[in-house]
């Protein structure tokens, strides 16, 4: 193929890419999401200046290179220079000019706005009117409003069937939750980040905010949203198998709506506590507990122990008794200590009291998380009863919420 044909082909391909149907791009827009906070606006502005300057530099430098390649090629009799550095005054001046231009662009044109944006991001406290605490955990977010006595978990609501490609995906696939974070617009809100287990990252593109939540540290950022609406983001730090399933949804509302929401949410949480206390006093049938326990298992345990109860070899032990499980010696030692594995390497159901404690407190130093704070007595009693009477396990054990309450009380004693 002649050089001319190659050129024609390449430009044809380039043109085709440019005029390809809009539909191909609609799913992956080129632009950033519309910024709705000062930080997002500023970072977008910085990005735009940078992009403009590097595009100009790129085009100018590339043009000079292409020009030189073409017009000073060997076949035209050009000779390679033996030039090793500036000698004359004029040469020194000529080499200093690009250096000065780059220094000016870097430190002044791009540097000052970038410096300003970084300072603005770090200025979390001045003028802030409200604080929310965001805690990342495998694999959900907890939102807490200190002073308002509001604290709840926000978990994904995308149906499992959509995740496993058995149903058409809806518009907010993997980006919808049961309880969004509700925030008032036009108020500077300080966001404090913490983690219960591994590093997560709270990211909402329209806010220009992505801050890590790190176990053992408190980190902070801030938002001041200027437009009501629902803003969606995701965990942005690979945090285990459920990383894709802990979306961030923020519902930004007017001040009045926010006040109404606070009143409603406080009432809802209070009612839930009262209802829980009442429910703990009830004695349930095995069937009731198993039905409820299945739901609790699907929502809280299946990500690791799998819907089949068979776990994942070497990582998450099965819940079904009689199945072989091998893993690193330190994990096997833990399981043996609690009576959940035989010396032959088969999973067993283990003593009820240990089972309750494992679910309440988790197993320190392993991915098995504590559920004391996130599940009610009824839910914990249900999931344990469910586990002990499903997946081929048939102990006939029924655990009542009052037993879970008693275990909680015992754990709290010094
Ligand atoms: C983040 C992953 C994860 C989640 C979620 C999880 N587990 Fe576990 N679980 C583990 C791991 C890992 C172990 C083994 C820990 C060890 O001893 O090293 C374990 C061990 C157990 C054990 C003891 C061993 C066995 O297989 O019988 C029980 C019982 C258990 N989990 C119940 C639950 C229940 C009930 C839930 C939900 C309320 C749950 N787990 C949620 C990871 C998880
Ligand atoms: Cu995460």
Q: Residue 386 falls within a domain, yes or no?
A: yes
In a shared domain, residues 100 and 160: no
Task: For residue 88, give the 3-state DSSP assignment.
Answer: coil
**Nearest CA-CA partner of 205 in 389, 7, 37, 401:** 37
In a shared domain, residues 287 and 380: yes
CB 401 within 8 A of CB 378: yes
Count CB atoms within 10 A of the CB of residue 153. 16
The pLDDT assigned to 27 comes to 56
Ligand 1 atom 10: the closest Cα is on which residue? 368
Point out the ligand 1 atom lying closest to the alpha carbon of residue 384. Answer: 35
Q: Residue 6 falls within a domain, yes or no?
A: no
Point out the ligand 1 atom lying closest to the alpha carbon of residue 363. Answer: 15
Residues constituting the chain: 414
Q: Which two tokens stand for residue 371?
A: 């559920």
In a shared domain, residues 290 and 408: yes
Q: Residue 77 falls within a domain, yes or no?
A: no
Q: E strands of 165-308, at which residues?
A: 181-184, 189-195, 200-204, 209-213, 219-223, 229-235, 248-253
The pLDDT assigned to 24 comes to 47
Which residue out of 136, 242, 305, 355 has the highest number of ligand 1 atoms within 8 Å of its CB and is therefore the one to mutate? 305
283 exposure class (CB count in 10 Å sphere: 0-12, 13-18, 19+):
exposed
In a shared domain, residues 148 and 216: yes
Which residue out of 289, 304, 325 has the highest number of ligand 1 atoms within 8 Å of its CB and is therefore the one to mutate? 304
Any idea what the CATH number is for the domain that residue 156 is in? 2.60.40.420
In a shared domain, residues 113 and 46: yes
Q: Residue 78 falls within a domain, yes or no?
A: no
Any idea what the CATH number is for the domain that residue 336 is in? 1.10.760.10
Distance 316 CA to ligand 1 centre (A): 7
In a shared domain, residues 256 and 294: no
Angle value at C-alpha 264, between 262 and 267, nearest 5 degrees: 105
Q: Residue 110 falls within a domain, yes or no?
A: yes
Q: What is the pLDDT along the chain (414 residues), one digit of tens a residue?
A: 566 676 666 666 666 655 554 544 455 567 788 899 999 999 888 888 888 888 998 999 999 999 999 999 989 888 888 877 788 899 899 889 989 988 998 898 888 988 988 898 888 888 888 999 999 998 899 999 998 889 999 999 888 888 888 888 888 899 999 999 999 999 999 999 999 889 999 999 999 999 999 999 999 999 999 999 999 999 999 998 889 999 999 999 999 999 999 999 999 998 988 888 888 888 888 889 999 999 999 988 988 888 888 888 888 999 888 888 888 888 888 888 888 888 888 888 888 899 999 999 888 778 888 898 888 899 999 999 999 998 888 888 899 999 999 998 887 765
What are the Cα distances from residue 283, in Å, to 274, 351, 354, 379, 389?
17, 21, 21, 13, 18
Q: Considering its fold, how many domains does the chain have in total?
A: 3
In a shared domain, residues 118 and 135: no
Q: Residue 303 falls within a domain, yes or no?
A: yes
In a shared domain, residues 396 and 297: yes
CB 181 within 8 A of CB 192: no
Helices (H) then strands (E): counts for the chain? 13, 10
In a shared domain, residues 163 and 257: yes
Q: Rounded to an integer, what distance in angstroms lies between the CA atom of residue 232 and that of residue 234?
A: 7
Query: CA 203 from chain center: how many Å?
Result: 7
Q: Rounded to an integer, what distance in angstroms lies between the CA atom of residue 288 and that of residue 247?
A: 31
Specify which residues 251 forms β-bridges with.
Answer: 182, 230
Point out the ligand 1 atom lying closest to the alpha carbon of residue 197. Answer: 1
Kind plus residue range of the DSSP H or E element containing 299: helix 286-300
In a shared domain, residues 257 and 134: yes
Distance 213 CA to ligand 2 centre (A): 9
Count CB atoms within 10 A of the CB of residue 401. 22
Q: Residue 4 falls within a domain, yes or no?
A: no
DSSP string, 33-75: PPP-SHHHHHHHHHHHHHHHHHHHHHHHHHHHHHHHHHHT-GG
Range of the domain at 244: 130-269
Q: In terms of pTM, does the model score above 0.85?
A: no
Specify which residues 210 forms β-bridges with.
Answer: 203
Q: Rounded to an integer, what distance in angstroms lies between the CA atom of residue 213 and that of residue 192?
A: 9
Distance 246 CA to ligand 2 centre (A): 6
In a shared domain, residues 305 and 259: no
The pLDDT assigned to 25 comes to 47
In a shared domain, residues 232 and 135: yes
Which of 236, 269, 302 is the last residue before a domain boundary?
Answer: 269
Point out the ligand 1 atom lying closest to the alpha carbon of residue 334. Answer: 17
Distance 43 CA to ligand 2 centre (A): 24
Q: Residue 97 falls within a domain, yes or no?
A: yes
């Amino acid at each position: 193929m002649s050089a001319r044909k190659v050129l024609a082909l390449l430009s044809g391909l380039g043109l085709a890419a440019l005029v390809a149907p809009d539909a191909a791009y609609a799913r992956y827009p080129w632009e950033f999401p519309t910024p709705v906070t000062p930080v997002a606006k500023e970072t977008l502005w910085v990005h735009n200046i940078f992009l403009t300057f590097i595009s100009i530099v790129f085009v100018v430098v590339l043009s000079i290179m292409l020009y030189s390649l073409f017009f000073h090629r060997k076949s035209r009799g050009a000779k390679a220079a033996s030039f090793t550095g500036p000698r004359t005054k004029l040469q020194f001046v000529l080499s200093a000019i690009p250096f000065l231009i780059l220094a000016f662009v870097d430190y002044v044109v791009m540097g000052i706005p970038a410096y300003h944006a970084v300072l603005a991001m770090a200025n979390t406290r001045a003028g802030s009117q409200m604080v929310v605490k965001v805690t990342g955990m495998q694999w959900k977010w907890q939102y807490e409003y200190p002073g308002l006595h509001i604290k709840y978990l926000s978990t994904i609501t995308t149906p499992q069937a959509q995740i496993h490609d058995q149903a058409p995906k809806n518009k907010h696939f993997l980006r919808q939750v049961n309880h969004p974070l509700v925030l008032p617009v036009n108020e500077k809100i300080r966001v404090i980040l913490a983690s219960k287990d591994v590093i997560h990252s709270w990211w909402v593109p329209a806010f220009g905010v992505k801050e890590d939540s790190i176990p053992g540290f408190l980190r902070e950022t801030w938002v001041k949203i200027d437009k009501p609406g629902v803003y969606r983001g995701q965990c942005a730090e690979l945090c285990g198998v459920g990383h894709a399933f802990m979306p961030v949804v923020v519902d930004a509302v007017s001040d009045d709506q926010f006040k109404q929401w606070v009143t409603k949410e406080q009432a809802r949480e209070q009612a839930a506590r009262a209802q829980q206390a009442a429910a703990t006093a009830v004695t349930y049938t095995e069937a009731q507990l198993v039905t409820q326990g299945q739901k609790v298992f699907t929502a809280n345990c299946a990500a690791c122990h799998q819907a089949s109860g068979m776990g994942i070899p070497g990582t998450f032990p099965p819940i079904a008794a009689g199945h072989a499980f091998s893993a690193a010696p330190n994990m096997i030692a833990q399981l043996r200590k609690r009576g959940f594995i035989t010396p032959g390497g088969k999973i067993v159901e283990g003593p009820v009291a240990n089972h309750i404690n494992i679910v309440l407190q988790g197993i320190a130093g392993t991915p098995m998380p504590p559920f004391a704070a996130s599940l009610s007595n009824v839910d914990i009693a249900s999931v344990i009863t469910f586990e002990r009477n499903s997946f081929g396990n048939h102990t006939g054990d029924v655990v009542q919420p009052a037993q879970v309450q008693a275990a909680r009380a015992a754990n709290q004693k010094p």
